Amino acid sequence: MIRGTLKLATLATFICCGSLSANAQVNLSAEASSPGGSPHLSIIHMADIAGQAKIANLQVQEGQTLTNSILNVAQGKTDIAPAPIILTFLLAKGRGPYAKQGDKGAALAENLRALYPYNAGAYGLFAHESKNIKQWGDLKGKTVFNGPPRGAALVNARQAIVLASGLKDGTDYKGYQANWGQLPGILVDGSVDAFVVPLTFPSARVTTALAAGKVRIVSTPKDVFESDGYQKIFKAPGNVPIIVNFDDMGYSKDMGVSLVSSDGVFRGMGTAFADVVHKDMDFDLVKTLTTTYIANIDKLKAKAPYAPNIGVGILDAKASGFCGASQLKYHAGAIAAWEEAGFKVPDCAK
């Protein structure tokens, strides 16, 4: 990682003076999720830096459903999109939202190649202090918002609660599901007792909830997080461990946010992402895009308060969610860019 940092000046020189003209003004189509999270931020950042460097113009469609977006990339209909790694796995297996693809899913998934990894935050428990929830076991008998009515978020939230407390939705607590667009209102209207959803650090969800009173975040207990049972979830595609010191979570002492943790550290299950392109995208174009991305990592981290905590520039297989059950690989042009910058790309992701 240190070598990668030392080479940023060289990369900047390459961008300014190197062979970008061959790819200048290329028009690329891109899709992004709704604003407010790292998948949207990542694509918008790439659109900004690619345009400024005169590499390509990204025509971004925002507010897209990523289940459809990665299928569009795989089919050659869209050039670049954010991909939850779990979805690339499900597409390869023809399961879940891709059940209709059946055996065709494997060939489509093989068309996907990654440029760079990041994550969308970690599943955490939080509640207003007035609800008196100080540990995961306190969710017993409570009403808990745990995601939209369907999808991976709901499955992961339920799993996080079971692993941390043994409590099951519908038996030990009442799960409350609604679409993400309804969440801002639910955060302040008092209709639920607690929330188990993905959190960035800091999180707009927590700061929104502050309008209705002080908020307490509850970490997965260290002994539970480090247990064999909990660690098994990180072998599943798309799950990554997130560990953040409270001092680095982005909340000042006077904001009204506190953390329940034995050692002042938040621990939770995170969701791995990568921005993906088609495997047939031009090698030089991908290399130049990725080289530009690496040179502008610091600018990305400065674009949002939570950006330093989303795993940008961390290619380690376990931390990034690559390898294992996931078959997603990096594009050859991206591999060349990362390695020339001094980063190690896991062999299993090449």
Instruction: State residue 155's pLDDT score.
Output: 83
Domain residue extents for the chain: 2-119+272-349, 121-270
Q: How far is CA 168 from CA 12, 92, 157, in A?
A: 52, 30, 11
DSSP three-state, residue 210: helix
**pTM strictly above 0.75:** yes
Query: In the chain, what percentage of residues exceed pLDDT 70?
Result: 93
Q: Same topology for domains 2-119+272-349 and 121-270, yes or no?
A: yes
Instruction: State residue 27's pLDDT score.
Output: 96
Question: pLDDT tens, 210-266?
Answer: 999 999 999 999 999 999 999 999 988 989 999 999 999 999 889 999 999 999 999
Question: pLDDT tens, 81-125?
Answer: 999 999 999 999 999 889 999 999 999 999 999 999 999 999 999
Cross-strand pairs, 116: 275
150/271: higher pLDDT: 271
Q: Is the pLDDT of residue 45 over 70?
A: yes
What CATH architecture does domain 121-270 belong to? 3-Layer(aba) Sandwich (3.40)
- Of the pLDDT bands very low, low, confident and very high (cuts 50, 70, 90), residue 24 is low
- Of the pLDDT bands very low, low, confident and very high (cuts 50, 70, 90), residue 13 is very low
Task: Tell me what the mean pLDDT of segment 30-50 comes to.
Answer: 93
Question: pLDDT tens, 131-168?
Answer: 999 999 999 999 999 988 877 788 889 989 999 999 99
The per-residue DSSP string of 58-97 comes to EEEE-S--HHHHHHHHHTTS-SEEEEEHHHHHHHHHT-GG
- Of the pLDDT bands very low, low, confident and very high (cuts 50, 70, 90), residue 7 is very low
Instruction: State residue 156's pLDDT score.
Output: 84
- Of the pLDDT bands very low, low, confident and very high (cuts 50, 70, 90), residue 1 is very low
DSSP three-state, residue 187: helix
Instruction: State residue 63's pLDDT score.
Output: 86
Question: pLDDT tens, 277-334?
Answer: 999 999 999 999 999 999 999 999 999 999 999 999 999 999 999 999 999 999 999 9
Of the chain, the end-to-end C-alpha distance in Å amounts to 18
Structural contact between residues 266 and 242, judged by C-beta atoms closer than 8 angstroms: yes
CATH of domain 2-119+272-349: 3.40.190.10
Task: Tell me what the mean pLDDT of segment 39-54 comes to.
Answer: 96
Instruction: State residue 253's pLDDT score.
Output: 86
Instruction: State residue 35's pLDDT score.
Output: 84
Q: Is the pLDDT of residue 181 over 90?
A: no
Structural contact between residues 341 and 294, judged by C-beta atoms closer than 8 angstroms: yes
Structural contact between residues 141 and 173, judged by C-beta atoms closer than 8 angstroms: yes
Written as six digits, the tokens of 220 are 């997965």
Instruction: State residue 14's pLDDT score.
Output: 37
